Structure 1
Amino acid sequence: MNTLSSHVLDTTNGKPVAGMQLTLQLPDGSTREGVTDSDGRFKDWGTTFSEGIYTLRFHCQRYLVDTHGKSFYPHIDITFELEAQGGHYHVPLLISPFGFSSYRGS
C-alpha cells in the first residue's frame, strides 16, 4: 500500500505556502485535487496508490504573483514513479518566483 504527501515551502521568505491548489494525475489519466493547509502540507488524497507513473501539478502562479509580484512559472509539474509496496512517498516543492526544487522526502 502506497501513500502520498506533499509540502510547499517558499525559499524566498522561508515560509510554508498555504492555500496552493494541487492536481494529481494518476496512471489511468484520472485526477485528484487538493489544497495545501496552513503549514503548506497536503496528504488527504482519499485513496492509496498502486504502482505507476503519476504527475503532481502545483498551481503556483497566483501565490507567487500575490506574494512576490512575479512568477516565471504558471504551474510546476513533477512526474514520478511509485513502486509496488513502496510505502510512503513525500514530494516536497521548494519555490521562489524564478526557481524550484523537489526531491523524494520521507
Structure 2
Amino acid sequence: MTRDLTTCSTHVLDAALGVPAAGLGVRLADATGAVLAEAETDDDGRIRFDPGLAPGPHTLRFETGAWFAAADRDHFHPHVEVAFEVTGEQPHLHVALLLSPFAYTTYRGS
C-alpha cells in the first residue's frame, strides 16, 4: 500500500565526544530546494519534522561548521548535506548522522 505522506526525523551524535549534538541547525528541503522546515536538535540531538513528505528526493542540511565554530572546535566540513529518497512506502524515515570535526557517517535508522 502506498501512503500519501511520510514523516521524517533525525538524530545527530558527536562521535568525537560521545554525546548528542545539541543545538545543531538542520534544514529540510524538497527536490526544488524549497525549505520545508528548519529546526535545531534538542538536548538529545534529535529533531522530528512536522511536515509530511511527498514521494521524491529530499535533503537534510546540517549546519556543522557553525555548530563546531560556536564550540571553538576545529572542523573541516562547513555543512553536511544528506540526500534521500522518499518512496511513500514507509510511514516514517529516520536519517541519522554520526559527526566528528573531520568526518561523518550517515545511515537510514529506524
TM-score higher than 0.5 here? yes
Distance of 2:84 and 2:50 partners within structure 1: 19
Distance of 1:91 and 1:21 partners within structure 2: 15
1:59 counterpart = 2:66: no
Deviations 1:20-67 (A, max 9, x none): 111111134320211100100000x22111100001000011222344
With normalisation by structure 2, the TM-score equals 0.88
Alignment partner for residue 95 of structure 1, among 95, 99, 102? 99
Structure 2, unmatched stretches of 5+, are none
2:45 maps to which residue?
A: 40
SS of the counterpart of 1:80? strand
Alignment check: 8 A CA contact 1:56 1:79 kept: yes
| Aligned amino acid, residue 96 of structure 1 | S
Q: Which 4+ residue blocks in structure 1 deviate beyond 4 angstroms? A: none
Alignment check: 8 A CA contact 1:56 1:78 kept: yes
Shift of 1:68: 6.0
Distance of 2:58 and 2:7 partners within structure 1: 12
Percent identity for Structure 1 against Structure 2: 38
Distance of 1:101 and 1:2 partners within structure 2: 23
Alignment check: 8 A CA contact 2:7 2:50 kept: no
- Match runs of 1:2-21 below 5 Å: 2-21=6-25
Distance of 2:33 and 2:103 partners within structure 1: 28
1:86 counterpart = 2:90: yes
- Number of matched pairs: 105
User: Considering only aligned residues, what root-mean-square deviation do their CA atoms show, in Å?
Assistant: 1.3
C-alpha change, 1:74 and 1:63, in structure 2 (3 Å) is same
